[in-house]
Every structure is written in C-alpha cells, then in structure tokens.
Amino acid sequence: MSLSRILQNPELQASIKSEHEAKSAKIAEHFSDRISHICHAKNDIIVHDNLNEIDFQKMLDEEFFDFAAKHGNAISHIFL
C-alpha cells in the first residue's frame, strides 16, 4: 500500500495508527512484565549472581537499553 494512499484516507490512517498503538502497548507491557519479574526476584538474583545494589541497577539498565535497541522504532512515541 502506498504512502500517498494512506495519507489520502483518514479511515486507513486511523486503522494503521490503532494497530501501531496496539503493538506498542503490547511491547511496553512485555517490557514492564520483564522488569517486574526481575525486581521481584531481586534478592535471589543478587545472592545467586553475587551482585551488589549497583550491579543490580546496571543489570536493569542493560535490560532497558537492550529493549530500546530492539523495539525503539516501534515505541518511539511512548514516554517511559
């Protein structure tokens, strides 16, 4: 489907926007669930991997940056 056709059709624009927002919401929910699981398991992770609080925070940061690298274009309109 051509970009000009999409731009000339408001219903098509709304449909595509809605689909994009749904995909973005699903991706954001997956990321939120992943971080939530990591945070719930924080004590086990710290003990098992011999981490301190700073190392644990670095691990969370890496999760975020990996997520952003993989899904950044799909969620660019979401403010985290």
pLDDT exceeds 70 at position 74: no
- Closest CA relative to residue 80, chosen from 16, 49, 35: 35
pLDDT per position as a tens digit, 24-68: 788 878 888 888 888 888 888 877 778 788 888 888 888 888 877
Alpha helices in 1-80 (DSSP H): 3-8, 10-40, 42-48, 53-71
Position 8 pLDDT exceeds 60: yes
Q: What are phi and psi of 51, to 5 degrees?
A: -100, 155
Give the pLDDT confidence score for residue 80 in this predicted structure.
44
Give the Cβ contact number of residue 52 at 10 Å.
9
Supply the pTM of this predicted model: 0.50
